[in-house]
Amino acid sequence: MYEGYAGLIFDMDGTILDTEPTHRQAWNEVLGRYGMRFDEQAMVALNGSPTWRIAQAITELNQADLDPHRLAQEKTQAVKAMLLDSVRPLPLIEVVKAWHGRRPMSVGTGSESAVAEALLAHLGLRHYFSAVVAADHVVNHKPAPDT
């Protein structure tokens, strides 16, 4: 199926790793500190967006007087503490393993690079990828194809 491609790029969150439940849990924890909640349906369109953009949408939706960058930092710290214990690879990781050494492979993610690198290393998956392109590496975030 992949023979015709010179290289393979995999999305991380929700494609090779089951990170979404942990991200939601981290948002709920952080927002609970401020009496806010994470409205999953309202946030679906922002899946894969950088954390600060989601934080900005949440503060606007809740009409909260909070710095979205500070809120994003709090969420990133919360998710870092949770991810290593909770995230597991999804079945597509078998494609990564099967094609390792046969094609160059990389990961694109809407997560911050520190989170992505730590998670891939912790799960013993980082060595499969020649590059990890994260939200803090690009100017144009999802839905643009940069990550």
State the catalytic residues: 11
Name the nearest CA neighbour of 11 among 112, 129, 147.
Answer: 147
Structure tokens at 121: 């290393």
Instruction: For residue 18, give the amino acid letter.
Output: D
Q: Which residues are CB-contacts of 127 (< 8 A; sequence separation ≥ 6)? A: none
Name the nearest CA neighbour of 12 among 143, 146, 106.
Answer: 106
Structure tokens at 30: 């952080």
The CA-based angle 9-132-80, given to 5 degrees, is 125
Contact 97, 105 (CB under 8 A): no
